[in-house]
Amino acid sequence: MRYVVFLLLATLALAPRFAAAEEMHADSVDIEYVAPTSAKLKPVYDMVKNARVLQRIRSMLIPLKLPRRLLLKTEACGKDDAWYEAGVVTVCYEFFDEIWKNVPEKTTPRGVTPMDALVGPIVDTFLHEVGHAVFDLWKVPVLGREEDAADFFSAYLMLKFNKQEAHRLIMGTAYQYREHVLKPKVTVPVVEFADQHAMPAQRYYNVLCIAYGSNEAPFRDFVEKGYLPKDRASDCRDEYEQIAYAFDKLLSPHIEPGLAEELQLHQLPPANRKPMRRQAR
């Protein structure tokens, strides 16, 4: 009996330590706003820092059980880009500036508010890069193009926000591809098809389809207003189910229960608040 008690105590004492070595908790996400050296990007740096973008993204990641520390970083890169590499997500100030530059003066005919045009692509980009991070850190098998899987990871999480916020995020995300879908015909150099990412117009339709497939009612306007063709819409439920199944099988074991509840608590900046104006430069 004493031996059993000893074993029990030994197990209890060791178990948390083993668990801690395997998977840490969300305070395992670090953040860093690297100050740009060029004065040109200083307003972007100020905007991103004052909006507490990294703190807000980090708080969305609380339920993720990561095996090592993940750094979310913003910095000047000399190009409009974002990427994940070796435990670090980097989003460039040039990327934020591009998004900021394209914020409409007023709410668009499709109902995208200036705030949504800013927030949607920022959240989507961070979650997309975090998608790459978790595929790497959790050694998740990805069948198909990783860029598509990262887009789906992001969309799946955005759809866990409450329906109104999810609609804003999805429309804001779709807005970043608007130039590629406004005209009925697109002409691109053939080499564009060699890109690892899907074409912007495909990413546009994909994100609308996944949203509509997740729950028709709040996203019915996508089909009614013709943003998403009926032919594609009819299969979106199946497409969403496939993503949800993969997420559940491959990713959920690494995530604390209550991810959806956590994300539903998350509030975006009010849709009717105007983002700070970007000065032309």
Q: List residues binding Zn ion (CB under 5 A).
A: 147, 150
Minimal distance in Å, beta carbon 277 to Zn ion?
Answer: 30
Cβ atoms < 10 Å from Cβ of 117: 24
**Under a CB-based contact definition with an 8 Å cutoff, are residues 158 and 124 in contact?**
yes
Decide whether 152 or 212 has the Cβ nearer to Zn ion: 152
**Under a CB-based contact definition with an 8 Å cutoff, are residues 23 and 67 in contact?**
yes
Decide whether 91 or 208 has the Cβ nearer to Zn ion: 91
Minimal distance in Å, beta carbon 157 to Zn ion?
Answer: 15
Minimal distance in Å, beta carbon 83 to Zn ion?
Answer: 7
Decide whether 150 or 174 has the Cβ nearer to Zn ion: 150
Non-local (6+) Cβ contacts of 237 within 8 A are 213, 216
Decide whether 126 or 222 has the Cβ nearer to Zn ion: 126
Minimal distance in Å, beta carbon 206 to Zn ion?
Answer: 14
Minimal distance in Å, beta carbon 196 to Zn ion?
Answer: 7
Minimal distance in Å, beta carbon 259 to Zn ion?
Answer: 21
Decide whether 195 or 261 has the Cβ nearer to Zn ion: 195
Closest CA to 196 of 246, 132, 130, 140: 132
Decide whether 90 or 113 has the Cβ nearer to Zn ion: 90
Cβ atoms < 10 Å from Cβ of 135: 19
- Cα end-to-end span (Å), the chain: 77
Q: How far apart are CA 193 and CA 94, in angstroms?
A: 24
Q: Which residues pair with 29 in a beta bridge?
A: 70
**Under a CB-based contact definition with an 8 Å cutoff, are residues 43 and 278 in contact?**
yes
Minimal distance in Å, beta carbon 150 to Zn ion?
Answer: 5
Decide whether 75 or 147 has the Cβ nearer to Zn ion: 147
